[in-house]
Amino acid sequence: MVDQDIQHWQQANEIYADLTDLSVSEAIAQLHLLPHVDDQVKSLVLSLISAGQQSSHYFDEAADSYRRAIKHSCFEVGQQVGDYRLTQSLDQGGTADVFAAEKIESEVQKPVAIKLFNHPGYLSHLSDRFQIEQKILAGLSHPNIVKLYHGGHSPDGVPYMVMELVEGARSIDQFVADQKCSTRAIIRLIIQAARAVAYAHSNLVVHRDIKPSNILLDRQGTLKVVDFGIAKLLNQPKDPQKTTLLALTPNYAAPEQIKSESISVRTDIFSLAAVCLQLITGEPPLSQNRLLDACQNDEQHVHKLLKSAVKDTDLRKILYQAMQSDPNRRYRHMDSFADDLQAWIERRPITASRDSYVYRIRKFAQRRTALFVTSVALVLFALSSLVVFSWQYKKISVEVEKSRQFKQFLLNIFAAAKPEEAQSGAIDARILLAQAAENIDYATFDQAADKSELLDAIAQAYFQLGLYDRANDLWQKAIQQAEGDGSALLGLARIAVINGDAESAQQRLQQFQQSVQETQQAGQSADIWLIESAMVALNGETDKALSLARQAYNYFVANDFIQQQLTAALQVADLLYNASESKQAIEFLEQALKTGAQKLPPTHPRILAIKNNLLDLYNDVGASEQALAISEELTTQIESVFGERHPLLIDTYVATSGTYRATGNMDQATEYVEKAYRLSLKQHGTQSALTARVLNSMGVMAYVRGDLNKAIEDISKAVDMYAESLGENHPDTWEVKTNLAALLNMNHEFKRAIKLLKSVVKSQRQALGPDHKSTIYSQTILARLYGDVGDFDQATPLGESVLNSAKEALGEQHPLTVGSYFTLAKIYQKQDRLSDAIDLITGIVDPSKNRLTEDNERIITAYNTLGDLYMAQEDLKNALIYKEKSWQVAKNLLGDDAIRTLSQQLKYVEILQKNQQFDAAEKHLKIVQDRVQDHGMDDPGLQQMIEQLSKAQQ
C-alpha cells in the first residue's frame, strides 16, 4: 500500500513538473485533458497546485524522500566555482541552491553567497529567470536589498551569481518568533521592507514573489529583500514572463497573479500586506484553496481575519486597503502604504479609505436585481447632474474671467514696447520680464491665487535665465498672495540649494509638504526627490543623492514626462561626474539626448543643456573628436536661432576652449575663452558669478600656457567676484580660493597660499563639519602645502587625519579618499620615507582592494607616482615597469594622441634613458615628436620635455 502511495506521488510530481510553466487556469485545464490518469493522482496534482511552494505542509515522508531522490543539484561544500570555494550550504530552492563561499587565494576575505542554478536539465526554460535576476539586481543599490557583486558560469556551463552574504540569516517570520516582536516592532520591519521594494518600483522592477522567506534579517537585525528571480521589469511591457505555477506562492500571491492578469506595483503591495497580516496574527493570511476557487473568497477571508485578530481600527483599515482584490482599490504606490504604516506608528491620521456604507451598499446592489440598480442609478443621476451642472457652470465662468484678466495683463506689458525698438532687437526677455514684474503689483485679479500663479510664472522665467535673486523675490510675493503656494515653495527650495543653504531648502520642503498634502500634482513627488538629492549632495552623501535623482528620473520616464526626465538626467549625470564616473555620465546623457530628440525640437532648452553637459564630459574623458563635433553643432544652433543672448552660449564657449586646450590648439582655446569673457562682461557685468567662472577659466588657460603670474591675477579677480556675488562662504567661492592657493604654492608664495587655505578650511569646518567632502578636499590641499614648505609637524598629522576621515566618511573608493592617499604619499616622500609612500600607492593600485581599477584615469597618476618613488630609491627596474604601465593605461583610456598620453610616453622615455636603453628611448621620442607635429600641438609642457629629452639623447 505504501509502495502504491509512493507511485501515486511520483506520478503526480511528474505531471506537476510538466505543468509548472503554465498559469493556474491553464494547468487545471491541461490536467483534466490528460488521458489515463487516475482520479487519485489528479487529486494529488491539484493539491500540489494548491500548495504551490509550500509543499512541506502537504507532503508526507514518502513524497519528501522521493523529492530528495530526484534532486538535480550537483554542487557540494568544498567544490570550486569560479574564483570561490563553497564553504556552507545555506538554502536549496526550486531552481537554485545557495552556498556561503570564500575567495580562493585572497588575503582579505569578504563573505559572499553564491546562488547556483540547480536544474541543468531545464536550462532551456528556467535559466532565463536566473539571467533576469542578475540583470535586475545589477541595477539596484539599496541598503535593504541584497547586493549583486557579479555573475558567471561554472566549467559545466551552469550560471551562478556572487552576492552579498546575509550572515546569520533568518526569515522575517523566524525573526519575529525568536524575538517575540510586538505588533509595532513588526510594522517597523514591514516599513523597511516596503521602502526597499518601493525603491525597486522606482527603478521599474516589481518583485512578484514577496513572502517571509524572501525577507531576511542578519545577526545585527538588518533587513534584506532577496530573490528577484521572477521579478518583472515594468519598462518591458512585452516581457515574455507570465505568472506560472512555479512563480506562485499561494498564501501571498495577489489575485491578479493567480488569474494571470496584469501585474503592477500594487501586486507587491498585496503580497507584503499578506506577510504583515500573517506576522501579526500568526495565521495564514489567505485560504489554502484560493488557487482552485480563483480567489473568490479572498476579501471575505481577509475581512474576517482582520476583524477577529487585529484590534486596532486604523491598522485594520490599512491592511484591508492594501489587500483589496481589485488592484485599483489598493494603495497606488508602495510608499503610500509605508507612509500610512509610519503614520500608524506615530499615532497620526492615516489615509486608508474606510470600509464605508457606500461601499457596502454598492456591493449589495451588485448582488440584487437590475430594477434596484436602475432605480438607484436614476435617482443618483438626477441629483448628481444638477450639482455637477451648477459646479461646472461656475467653474467655467471663473476660468473665462481668469483668462481675460491674464490676457489683458500680457497685452499691457507689450504695450509698453515701441515698435522700432522691437524691430531693432533692443527688447529681450529680461526687459519684458522686468516690465511684467513691475506691472503685477498694480494689476487687479478677482482671486489672490490668480495673482500668485502669475507671479510664479514670471519667477520661473527668471529662474530659467539664472537670475535667482529676482526669482526669489517674486516667489516670496507669490507666497504672500497665496499662503502655502506649492510651486513657489519648491522654487525657493531650489534657490536655497543653489546657494548651498541645505537648512533653508529643508525648511521650504517641509512647508511644501504640509501645504499640499491633499492637492499634490503628479510629478511633484519626483520634483521633491530632485531637490532632496541636491540637498544631500551638499552634505557629501553622493550615493544617496544619486539614488534619489535616479528615482526621480525613473518616475518621469514611467509617466512620460519628457522635460522633467531630461532635467533629472542632467542631475544624475552631474552626480556621476562628481563621483568620477564620467563615462557612465556620458552614456546616461547620450541615451537621454536620443530620447529627447524624438519628442522635442533641437533648440529646446533641455536639449541644448544636455549637449552642453556632454561637451564638458567629453572634455573630461579626452574624447576630443566628439567634443569638437558637439561643440560646433551646439554653437551653430544657439548663435543662428537665439543670437549671443542665450545663457548657454557662454558655457559652450568655455567648454569649447577646454576642448581645444586638450588637443593642444592653444590659439583657438584662448580665442574661445576670451569670447566667453567679453560676452559675459557685456551681459552680466563684473559682479556676476558667471563672469567669475569664465575668468577662472582664463586663469587656467594662462597657467597651461606657462604664464603663472597672469593665472594668479585672473583667478584672484575671480575670487573677489565670487565673494561679491555669492558671499565669502559659498561653496563656489571656497573652490576658486582653493585653486588660487594651489597656484600661489606653485609660484612659491607659500605663506599667502597657506593663509588663504586656512581661512577656507576654518569656514568649511564651521559650516559643513570636518568630514564633509569639501572640507576634506581643502584640508588635503592644505596638508600638501605644509609638506611643500617642509612643515612636516603640521603636514604629516593633518595628512594622516584627513585620510582617515575620508576613508570613514566617504569610503575607500571615493576620489577624495584616493587623493588623500596621494597627498600623504607625497608628504612621506619629502621626508625620505620612501617605503611608506610606496606602500600607500601600492595599496591604491592593488586589484584586491578595488580602490582604483584599470578604467579609472587616476591610476595613470598612481603608476607614474610609483615610478617616481622607485626612481628616488634608485630602483630603476621597478621604476621602468611602472612608468611603462602609466603610459600604457593612458593610451588605453585616452588614445595615442592625447596630450596626457604623450606626456606619459615622454616620462617613459626619460626612464629608458636612465636605464641606458637609448635605442628604445629614441624610437619613442621620435613617435611623440611626429604626433605633436602632425596634429599641430602647441603645448608648452610637451615642447619643454621634448627639448630636454632630445638633449639627453645626444
CATH number for position 273: 1.10.510.10
Distance CA 395, CA 391 (A): 6
Distance CA 756, CA 107 (A): 44
Distance CA 494, CA 535 (A): 9
Predicted pLDDT at 51: 52
Extended strands (E) in 50-147: 80-81, 84-92, 96-103, 112-117
Residue 435 lies in a domain: no
Residue 408 lies in a domain: no
- Of the candidates 164, 180, 214, which is a domain's last residue? 164
740-743: Cβ within 8 A, 24+ apart: 740/712, 740/715, 740/716, 741/781, 741/782, 741/785, 742/781, 743/699, 743/703, 743/708, 743/711, 743/712, 743/715
Domain match, 881 and 757 both? no
Predicted pLDDT at 315: 92
| Residue-by-residue DSSP string for 133-164 | HHHHHHT---TTBPPEEEEEE-TTS-EEEEEE
Report the interhelical angle of 448-464 vs 468-481 (nearest 10°). Answer: 170
Domain match, 217 and 350 both? yes
Distances (CA, A) of 776 to 343, 367, 802, 805, 810: 39, 70, 6, 8, 10
Domain match, 22 and 107 both? no
Predicted pLDDT at 423: 39
Cβ–Cβ under 8 Å, residues 433 and 458: yes
Dihedral sign from CA coordinates of 740, 744, 750, 751:
negative
Summarised one tens digit per residue, pLDDT across range 507-564 is: 777 777 666 554 444 446 677 788 788 877 776 677 788 888 888 888 888 777 888 8
Predicted pLDDT at 312: 87
Distances (CA, A) of 786 to 419, 587, 652, 776, 821: 64, 40, 37, 15, 16
Cβ–Cβ under 8 Å, residues 718 and 699: yes
CA angle, 526 then 531 then 535, to 5°: 140
Residue 510 lies in a domain: no
Predicted pLDDT at 187: 94
Neighbours of 645 (CB within 10 A): 15
Domain match, 202 and 323 both? yes
Report the interhelical angle of 486-498 vs 468-481 (nearest 10°). Answer: 150
Distance CA 654, CA 634 (A): 13
Domain match, 158 and 174 both? no
Domain match, 197 and 336 both? yes
Q: Are strands 159-164 and 148-153 parallel, antiparallel or unpaired?
A: antiparallel
Cβ–Cβ under 8 Å, residues 740 and 700: no
Residue 866 lies in a domain: yes
Residue 87 in grid coordinates: 564553504
Cβ–Cβ under 8 Å, residues 175 and 110: no
Q: Is 26 exposed, middle or buried, given 0-12, 13-18 or 19+ CB atoms closer than 10 A?
A: middle
Domain match, 26 and 150 both? no
Burial per residue of 231-270, b for 16 or more beta-carbon CB atoms within 10 angstroms, e otherwise: bbbbeeeeeebebbbbbbbbbbbbbbbbbeeebbbbbbbb
Distances (CA, A) of 711 to 287, 716, 941: 77, 8, 16
* Locus of grid cell 541552491: 97
Domain match, 61 and 90 both? no
User: Helix-strand-coil percent breakdown of the chain, rounded to 5?
Assistant: 70, 5, 25
Distance CA 511, CA 948 (A): 65
Domain match, 839 and 924 both? yes
* Locus of grid cell 573608493: 813
Residue 642 lies in a domain: no
Residue 658 in grid coordinates: 577646454
pTM for the predicted model, two decimal places: 0.46
Residue (of 113, 89, 118, 115) closest to 102 by Cα position: 113
Residue 259 lies in a domain: yes
Q: In residues, how long is the chain?
A: 954
Domain match, 950 and 847 both? yes
Residue 196 lies in a domain: yes
Distance CA 102, CA 108 (A): 10
Point out which residues pair with 115 in neighbouring strands. Answer: 98, 161
> Tell me, what CATH number does 159's domain have?
3.30.200.20
- Of the candidates 131, 164, 197, which is a domain's last residue? 164
Domain match, 112 and 33 both? no
Residue-number span of the structural domain to which 756 is assigned: 728-813
Task: Please identify every stretch of the chain with a pLDDT value under 70, giving residue numbers as ranges.
Answer: 1-74, 93-95, 106-109, 118-139, 229-249, 288-296, 353-459, 461-468, 481-486, 500, 502, 513-525, 539-540, 580, 640-647, 850, 855
Summarised one tens digit per residue, pLDDT across range 239-265 is: 444 554 444 567 788 888 877 777 788
Residue (of 543, 443, 460) closest to 199 by Cα position: 543
The set of residues, in sequence order, having a beta carbon less than 8 Å from that of 261 and lying 6+ positions away, is 255
Domain match, 759 and 838 both? no
| Residue-by-residue DSSP string for 767-822 | HH-TTSHHHHHHHHHHHHHHHHTT-HHHHHHHHHHHHHHHHHHH-TTSHHHHHHHH
Residue 942 lies in a domain: yes
Cβ–Cβ under 8 Å, residues 817 and 810: yes
Summarised one tens digit per residue, pLDDT across range 144-175 is: 888 877 777 777 777 888 888 888 889 999 99
Cβ–Cβ under 8 Å, residues 612 and 606: no
**Chain CA centroid to CA 54, Å:** 37
Predicted pLDDT at 170: 92
> Tell me, what CATH number does 739's domain have?
1.25.40.10
Distance CA 701, CA 708 (A): 10
The count of domains in the chain is 5
Report the interhelical angle of 448-464 vs 429-439 (nearest 10°). Answer: 160
- Of the candidates 146, 164, 182, which is a domain's last residue? 164
